[in-house]
Structure 1
Amino acid sequence: MNKRGIMIWSLLILGVLMMSCSNKKKVTITILIQGEQSEQPLIVYRAPNIASISDVPGDTLYPDSKGRYIYTTPHPRGQVFQFELGSGESRYVSSPLFISSPEKYKIELKNNPEQKELSVTNFKGKNWKGIMQFLDFVQFIRTNSTETKLNYQGPADSFMEHLGDEITRELEPFVNFYENVEIDASFLNFATQYISYWYAYQGLELINQNLKVTQKEELAEERELWLQHKEELTNSFSTTSAELQWSNHFEDYINEALYQLIDQNRADYDEALRQSAGQTWALTHIKPLIHPDLYPIYALQYLSDKSVRLDTETITLFKELEKNHPKLEGYLSYQLLVNEKIPQIEKFNSKKVDLASNQAVILDDESPITQFQQIRNLFWGKYLLVDVWASWCPDCIAEFEHKEKVDAWLSSQQISSLYIALERSPDRERWKKYISHYGLKGYHVLADKTLKQDLYTLLGSSSLWIPRYFLINPLGEVVVADLATPTDWEEFKKQIQAAMVVVQE
């Protein structure tokens, strides 16, 4: 790494650049949307950092007689702005823009239907060169989102040097702008942290991938190097740093640290889950690893995500968070919890189990099902669609939105349905309450460790990503091991019908 690269890296790690402050001035932004002639409202989101920009309510603007949207707001310090036009399938959102100074700015936006975004085509105001360079980087990561981000396939011993060179190369223009007094220190700090934490997160993902493929004994030395790199990377880009607020992977980055904690303390965490205290364990252990200013933002998002579990523990933790951090009302996660998710939790826990009205049948109430062969025997001579799910899995719950059309279509094809739950708690009554709550018509089994292991063997995998759908033919054979989900409705039906035709032939 060259001297300038070392200088950039040092700035990043030490976080020596400070955000400018101004308590009385305002920022005024004039926005034009190219080709937009209607009275369509524009929503402006503003937040003190990237970490919370997706969790704040927006201000709605309407164009004036000249088609301009004019937005004026107090500017106590550097702020992030984002713009949204339309809704639903016609919703377009801009990249985040960091504005450091209370001045006047002009922005031109244009609909980009292919990527469902509002592209910034022109920007006038302080730091404009830095902003346009930053937007080029955001466009790069958006258009390369399905590729290997770091494009690194080399050995472990040169990975960190490669990562440092990539960050240096990406930050070089911003350093030049700063040295030529074309951007200020606040904007340089923003760009440095955003880009560096983006690469750091991609680096962690790449390291985790390599840790999965270096588990063989003959690769032990290579694996040890990847483990050292992971430790070095997490120390250099710490979750305890306030600079994490400028990362677009804010929540993912902290989640990665939490997953590592759970892996290191698996027995304790599993016991907490059995005691319905998993969320308490997670927040208690992750809190010391997060900067105090960022902890309430993360905790709020975490509880909102975990509310899918419908545990009263979420309510208890939310009340505690609200008491200790009383200024959270402005966050969308807070409003969603108060107005929707907590009432849902309360309603769920006050209801009684009603399996009969859902036409739900529990197969393992009287005797345990520990081998998949038992299921084969029960459904011999029939097609069987198996849905592997869990009450703690948001993606699984999201698929239940399609259950009515799935049930109707399966009935028309004479296919039975079986739900196998991979719960983390052995509480059968609570499991049945989930079945009743979501209205899951069909047959049900709560998998124990033995059945889970049998499923891994059956599907040829050492682990199961859920939701997982697979199809069993009348001979008890797996004919499609990984079906499309009902969200991809036409592909879901197509794969099942194709498998049934093959069997009939």
Structure 2
Amino acid sequence: MKQFLIFVSLILLGCSCQKENDQKMTIEGMITGTVPGRIEYTVPLNGITYFGFENSVQPDSLGHFKISLSLDKASFIELSNGHKPYGTIIAEPGMHYNVQIKQEKENTRFTVGSKNSKGQELYNQNPNRSMLSGHFELEARNYSEDSVPGEIKKGIGKSRLRNVAKYDSLLDAGIISKRFHELVIADQDYFYAGARASIALMNYLLSERNKNILTEEEYTRLWGDTFKEFPVTDPNLMRSPWFFYYVKSYLWYKDFVDGHVEPEELSETRKQGLIHTRHIDLAKKYLTGKQLEYYCAAYIYLEAINKNYEKELVTIFEQFEKENQSSEYIPYIESEIIPIIAFHRKQDEALNENTHILEDADNINSLKEAVKSINSQKVYVDIWATWCGPCKQEFKHNGRLYDLLNNENTTMLYISVDKDDKVEKWKEMIKYYQLEGYHLKASKELYKDLRRLRGKDTFGIPWHILTDGNGNVIEKYAGPPSDIQTLEKQLKDN
């Protein structure tokens, strides 16, 4: 009897190992061109893919890399570097994929070798395959001038059918698997539904300035009909990378249309520092279970990576941890919450002795006046704002920047184009990023002067300018801190 039990146990153990083996999915890849330090890949959690929930692998010196994951269902896996997308794999349990990433001057070629390779190729030709490469608005803007809701629905419906028909043909020919087909079709269904909802949302927002094309009745019906036809409760929706933005549009609909919320109410909530709390409470009202857990996790992550360092997000995260103690999403969100905690601790420290906020900034009406107030031979000007993500990315290179400026007898001047209600946030970020040099927040007249200097070019930030001591522009577009070689050459040539 004992020998029989051992025999049965060995069989069960073997079955268990075989089952685990069947779930294992592997990707063997090769990247050519400049080999990055790491390749990021989204990690499907419960079959759900979100661009922020990711891990990374380090390629070897020749560009080879390998990824192994356990999957229980077909899932999307996005490969990227610094949120620059390479491509997407529709991965199935037990499958092996050979990936080639060829980085060329103009673009990146991404190919996937597998039994579904034709389907993989077709999917990666889609510019709206993920949040890293597209959005509902890219499709919605094709109908932004249409004034007949029926025609909008018909037009988007035709676009969807044309796209879906390609995958139907591959399935009928036995070129892609049924699991591959089901996942892609669900994904496309909700992308085109999201485009419809996006048109309604745009009209709602434009109605505040009386610039809406659809009437209130028309865009309200278009919005509501979309969620009836493609409900947020559909379990297939959670497996689409479009889940988050689709559900966010749904919550806006429930708030703006069903809840009749007024813009003034939202503005007051924002002033109180409770806008994120309000949105999470709204999600709790209309979502439950895994949907609620996933949506809240994605929301907190997305708001945290904006680097606005809102203390409210720390409180919301702590509440999420308490309510979802075993959530697989916690480690991914926590890594983005830690810098917010550090940001607020930094505010207790004294201002860097090399940091100077210019007095009487309201009376500085031009770039020349700003530069002359510093009394320097050359000035490197950084025009930025607290809401500008790329501006804050440039601050990572400030160590090398300050060394260069010191060697070239050049003074640093930061000009913020933030609105008046961001003064405290502006000062907090100066302290957190330890921005050495002179600082001023642009007055209305100084902002106008900067726009005049930009001329016909689109006004964008970050924008870096090199001037002489009198504020005369030497380089209208100086090299940014991230391109220190260009800036060094410009400084030495002038």
1:138 to 102, 116, 124: 124
Distance 1:399 1:69 in 2: 31
Q: Which residue of 1 aligns with 2:413?
A: 418
**1:122 counterpart residue number:** 114
Q: Which residue of 2 aligns with 1:299?
A: 296
Cα 1:51–1:480 shift into 2, 3 Å? farther
Aligned residue among 352, 355, 377 for 2:349: 352
Query: 2:50 aligned with 1:55, yes or no?
Result: no
Q: 2 CA distance for matches of 1:207 and 1:471?
A: 45
- With 398-407 and 253-262 compared, the bigger mean Cα shift is at 253-262
Aligned residue in 2 for 1:322: 321
When structure 1 is superposed on structure 2, of 474-483 and 290-299 the one drifting more is 474-483
- Report the alpha carbon displacement of residue 462 of structure 1 after superposing the two structures with TM: 13
Supply the AA of the counterpart residue of 2:45. Answer: A
Counterpart-to-counterpart distance in 1, 2:231 and 2:444:
34
Residue 318 of structure 1 deviates from its aligned partner by: 0.8
- 8 Å CA contact retained: 1:47, 1:80: no
> Corresponding residue for 2:7?
none
User: Using a 3 Å threshold, how does the CA distance of structure 1 residues 424 and 290 change in structure 2: closer, same or farther?
Assistant: farther
1:395 is aligned to 390
CA RMSD, 1 decimal: 5.6
* Cα distance change on mapping 1:118 and 1:42 into 2, 3 Å: farther
For structure 1, which segment, 397-406 or 308-317, has the greater mean C-alpha deviation from structure 2 after superposition?
308-317
Task: With the length of structure 2 as denominator, give the TM-score of the two structures.
Answer: 0.66
Q: What SS does the corresponding residue of 2:293 show, helix, strand or coil?
A: helix
Letter of the 1:161 partner, please give it: K
Query: Compared with structure 1, are the counterparts of its residues 281 and 375 closer, same or farther at alpha carbon in structure 2 (3 Å cutoff)?
Result: farther
Q: What secondary structure sits across from 1:440 in the alignment? A: coil
Cα distance change, pair 195–277 in 1 and its aligned pair in 2 (3 A)? same
Structure 1 residue 403 displacement after superposition: 1.5
Aligned-partner Cα distance in 2 for 1:247–1:233:
20
1:170-228: per-residue Cα shift (whole Å, max 9, x none)?
101334566789878765442123224445567788999999999999xx68x448996
1:178-217 equivalence runs, <5 A? 187-199=180-192
Q: Secondary structure at the match of 1:344?
A: helix
Tell me if structure 2 keeps the 8 A contact 1:45–1:58.
no
Residue matched to 1:166: 159
Of 236, 240, 244 in structure 1, the residue corresponding to residue 226 of structure 2 is 236
Structure-2 residue corresponding to 1:443: 438
- Counterpart contact for 1:470–1:481, Cα < 8 Å: yes
CA distance in 2, matches of 1:189, 1:415: 60
Q: Which residue of 1 aligns with 2:402?
A: 407
In structure 1, the residue corresponding to 2:482 is in which secondary structure?
Answer: coil
Q: In structure 1, what is the Cα distance between the partners aligned to 2:201 and 2:469?
A: 40
- The CA deviation string for residues 396-438 of structure 1, in whole angstroms up to 9 with x for no partner, is 2211011223333344555443223355785756643432221
Pairing of 1:65-76 with structure 2 (within 5 A): 73=70, 75=72
- For 1:435 and 1:253, the matched residues in 2 are separated by 36
- Percent sequence identity over aligned pairs: 17
Query: What residue in structure 1 maps to residue 4 of structure 2?
Result: none
Q: In structure 1, the residue corresponding to 2:125 is in which secondary structure?
A: helix
Residue type of the alignment partner of 1:377: E
SS of the equivalent of 2:404 reads helix
Per the alignment, in what secondary structure is the counterpart of residue 420 of structure 1? strand
Deviation per CA, 1:56-105, whole angstroms, max 9, x where unpaired? 55899x9xxxx998968473xx3416387xx979x996623253xx6x54
Matching residue of 1:333: 332
Q: CA, structure 1 residues 245+42, in 2 after alignment: closer, same or farther (shift >3 Å)?
A: closer
After alignment, is 411-420 or 140-149 more displaced? Answer: 140-149
SS in 2 for 1:296: helix
Change over 3 Å in CA distance of 1:360–1:455 after alignment to 2? same
Pairing 1:8-27 to 2, within 5 Å after superposition:
27=22
What 5-or-longer segments of structure 1 have no aligned partner?
Answer: 1-23
Deviations 1:426-471 (A, max 9, x none): 5756643432221111111235677667766765699965434445
Distance 1:83 1:393 in 2: 25
Q: What is aligned with 1:110?
A: 100
Task: Give 3-state SS (helix, strand or coil) of 1:236's partner.
Answer: helix
Could you tell me how far apart the structure 2 residues matched to 1:322 and 1:341 are?
17
Q: Distance in 1 between matches of 2:357 and 2:444?
A: 18
Preserved CA contact (<8 Å) 2:203 2:214? no
How far apart, CA to CA, are the structure 1 residues paired with 2:291 and 2:195? 21
Q: Check whether the contact 1:251–1:298 (CA below 8 A) recurs between aligned residues.
A: yes
CA contact (8 A) 2:365 2:449 kept: no
Change (3 A) 1:434 1:198: same
Partners in 1 of 2:56 and 2:209 — Cα distance?
51
Q: Is the 2:26–2:96 Cα contact (8 Å) retained in structure 1?
A: yes
Question: What's the offset of the Cα at 1:163?
Answer: 2.6
Query: Which segments of 5 or more consecutive residues in structure 2 lack a partner in the other structure?
Result: 1-17, 32-37
Partner of residue 21, structure 1:
none
Letter in 2 for 1:402: H
**Separation (CA, whole Å) in 1 of partners of 2:479 and 2:194:** 29
Partner of 1:96: 89
C-alpha displacement at 1:46, in angstroms?
3.7
**Number of residue pairs matched by the alignment:** 444
User: Residue by residue, what CA displacement relative to the aligned partner does 1:122-141 show, whole Å, maximum 9, x if unpaired?
Assistant: 22xxxx4xx74254122343
